[in-house]
């Protein structure tokens, strides 16, 4: 039984169906993908600063690279590369450390000095840039394409998917999961996966468990058609300002602010659009002439150390967590589905050791801290 029909729940459902796990049911309170997945901008990168995130990226990349063969759906994966820009000495030091770590995994990440960045990206304001990193394996794909690939394949593998089915209660008997009750039905099951995205903590409360995931609003904006002289433009991150941009069809996608206070608010506001535009004009002066055409907001599912919370829960047998992706859930969804299906069917995730991502790390004080505040797409 899987609660949540976003990209994570559907990837888990697909992998369980694929391995002929018996009766697999997925319950979605609204429509498939209506949560964070439909608000996501599809970024996929190898450039992470912790080993565990790099492992999830590399494993997921195998699926994105062969998505069409496996699922019969074109994921629209565009490897435009990610360019991280450093503007302080501390960032330079951290980025260079990241390059060493990423290269250990065979990732072809490059350190670029300011002259090389100027040569490749003549549209950037350069006076405060001290260097940057670029990886040609990074890029972005279509969240709705990937979601439908997983859901079509899950259904084909026999998974039963219910939309409009909101889980209201999870039944536990003597410390063991026995089933769930929705707005209309009861289902019995010895295993329940929490794939509730930003709602993960509300689902945790149903078994008296504190799942430390906060919903934080992120806004993004898209310009009307606009060109920067036909250049090939990587997804570019002004790390210090927490701002990024990339091509979006004929215009540009500009990141807006990330809220500091948790809420389920998914409206866009004028101040956020102004902030996104100011950051854009600062780093790419030519964008002053671009016009914002639309915008939207969605919820990140932030954990205390910006890493996922995966696996079993002490004291509630059969309850499995697949939460807290902290803005990286789309790109890691293929690997997450695989490891959670291994955990359920084999008792242990073998493709990647997920023990560092256990919920118990918060009580034990074993947080997975990154060298600097994590970047979020
Ligand atoms: C603006 C924005 C940009 C992003 N960009 C990127 C990016 O570039 N790259 C990347 O990797 N990630 C990105 N993310 C993050 C990514 O969208 C999420 O990590 C990912 O979609 C999480 O998927 P999920 O399936 O866990 O959650 P969701 O897609 O939110 O799915 C959870 C589902 O659970 C359902 N649900 C909740 N409670 C119940 C209940 N009681 N009963 C039944 N159903 C329930 C919800 O309706 C929802 O559909 C971005 C997020 C935002 C907001």
Length of the chain: 377
Nearest atom (ligand 1) to Cα of 218: 1
The 10s digit of each residue's pLDDT in 83-130 is 999 999 999 999 999 999 999 999 999 999 999 999 999 999 999 999
If one counts every other C-beta atom within 10 angstroms of the C-beta of residue 89, the result is: 9
- How many whole angstroms separate alpha carbon 97 and alpha carbon 152? 41
* CA 91 – ligand 1 centroid, Å: 30
Q: Is there a contact between 145 and 73 (Cβ–Cβ < 8 Å)?
A: yes
Does ligand 1 have an atom closer than 6 angstroms to the CB of 331? yes
Look at strands 139-140 and 43-44 and give their pairing: antiparallel
Indicate if the pLDDT at residue 376 is higher than 80: no
Query: Cα angle vertex 365, ends 326, 341, to 5°?
Result: 50
Using DSSP's 3-state secondary structure scheme, residue 261 falls into coil
Residue range 181-193: average pLDDT? 96
Helix H or strand E segment including 369: none
The 10s digit of each residue's pLDDT in 188-210 is 999 999 999 999 999 999 999 99
Does ligand 1 have an atom closer than 6 angstroms to the CB of 209? no
Predicted confidence band at 370 (pLDDT cuts at 50, 70, 90)? confident
Which runs of E-coded beta strand occur in 303-348?
A: 309-312, 319-323
Nearest atom (ligand 1) to Cα of 30: 47
* CA 73 – ligand 1 centroid, Å: 20
**Summary mean pLDDT of the chain:** 96
Residue range 202-226: average pLDDT? 98
Mutate to test the pocket of ligand 1, among 61, 147, 194, 199 (most ligand atoms within 8 A of CB): 199
* CA 263 – ligand 1 centroid, Å: 14
Nearest atom (ligand 1) to Cα of 332: 11
Helix H or strand E segment including 189: none
Tokens 């807290």 map to which residue? 324
Predicted confidence band at 230 (pLDDT cuts at 50, 70, 90)? low
Percent of the chain with pLDDT over 70: 99
Does ligand 1 have an atom closer than 6 angstroms to the CB of 109? no
The 8-class DSSP code of residue 343 comes to H
- How many whole angstroms separate alpha carbon 255 and alpha carbon 219? 7
Residue range 208-229: average pLDDT? 96
Does ligand 1 have an atom closer than 6 angstroms to the CB of 4? yes
Does ligand 1 have an atom closer than 6 angstroms to the CB of 3? yes
Contacts of 34 (CB under 8 A, 6+ apart): 28
Mutate to test the pocket of ligand 1, among 5, 6, 11, 272 (most ligand atoms within 8 A of CB): 6
Question: Long-range contacts made by residues 117-120, C-beta under 8 angstroms, separation at least 24?
Answer: 117/83, 117/85
Mutate to test the pocket of ligand 1, among 37, 257, 324, 326 (most ligand atoms within 8 A of CB): 37
pLDDT of residue 229: 73
- How many whole angstroms separate alpha carbon 199 and alpha carbon 185? 21
* CA 329 – ligand 1 centroid, Å: 7
Mutate to test the pocket of ligand 1, among 197, 267, 272, 295 (most ligand atoms within 8 A of CB): 197
Q: How far apart are the first and last CA of the chain?
A: 30
The 10s digit of each residue's pLDDT in 252-261 is 999 999 999 9
Where on the phi/psi map is residue 116: left (φ > 0), alpha (ψ -120 to 50), or beta? alpha
Question: In 180-269, where does DSSP find H-type helix?
Answer: 200-205
Indicate if the pLDDT at residue 372 is higher than 80: no
- Exposure of 122 by Cβ count < 10 A (0-12 exposed, 13-18 middle, 19+ buried)? exposed
Does ligand 1 have an atom closer than 6 angstroms to the CB of 166? yes
């Amino acid at each position: 039984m899987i609660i949540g029909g976003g990209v994570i729940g559907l990837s888990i459902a697909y992998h369980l169906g694929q391995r002929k796990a018996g009766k697999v049911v997925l319950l979605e309170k609204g429509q498939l993908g209506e949560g964070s997945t439909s608000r996501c901008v599809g970024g996929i990168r190898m450039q992470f600063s912790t080993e565990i995130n790099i492992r999830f990226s590399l494993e997921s990349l195998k699926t994105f690279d062969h998505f069409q063969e496996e699922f019969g759906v074109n994921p629209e994966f565009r490897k435009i590369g990610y360019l991280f820009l450093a503007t302080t000495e501390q960032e330079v030091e951290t980025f260079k450390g990241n390059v060493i770590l990423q290269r250990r995994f065979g990732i072809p990440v490059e350190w670029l000095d300011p002259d090389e960045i100027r040569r490749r990206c003549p549209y950037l304001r350069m006076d405060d840039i001290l260097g940057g990193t670029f990886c040609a394996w990074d890029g972005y794909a279509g969240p709705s394409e990937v979601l439908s690939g997983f859901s079509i394949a899950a259904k084909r593998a026999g998974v039963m998917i219910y939309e409009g089915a909101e889980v209201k209660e999870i039944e536990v008997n003597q410390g063991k999961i026995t089933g769930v009750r929705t707005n209309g039905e009861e289902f019995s099951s010895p295993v329940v996966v929490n794939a509730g995205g930003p709602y993960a903590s509300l689902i945790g409360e149903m078994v008296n468990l504190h799942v430390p995931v906060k919903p934080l609003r992120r806004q993004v904006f898209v310009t009307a058609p606009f060109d920067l002289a036909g250049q090939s433009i990587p997804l570019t991150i002004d790390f210090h300002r927490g701002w990024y941009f990339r091509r979006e069809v004929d215009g540009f996608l500009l990141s807006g602010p990330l809220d500091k206070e948790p809420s389920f608010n998914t409206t866009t506001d004028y101040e956020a659009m102004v902030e996104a535009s100011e950051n854009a004009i600062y780093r790419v002066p030519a964008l002053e002439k671009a016009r914002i055409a639309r915008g939207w907001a969605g919820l990140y599912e932030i954990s205390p150390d910006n890493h996922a919370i995966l696996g079993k829960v002490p004291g509630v047998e059969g309850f499995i967590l697949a939460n807290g992706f902290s803005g990286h859930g789309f790109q890691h969804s293929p690997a997450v589905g695989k490891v959670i299906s291994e955990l359920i069917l084999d008792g242990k995730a073998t493709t990647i050791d997920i023990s560092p991502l256990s919920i118990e790390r918060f009580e034990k004080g074993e947080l997975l801290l990154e060298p600097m505040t994590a970047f979020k797409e």
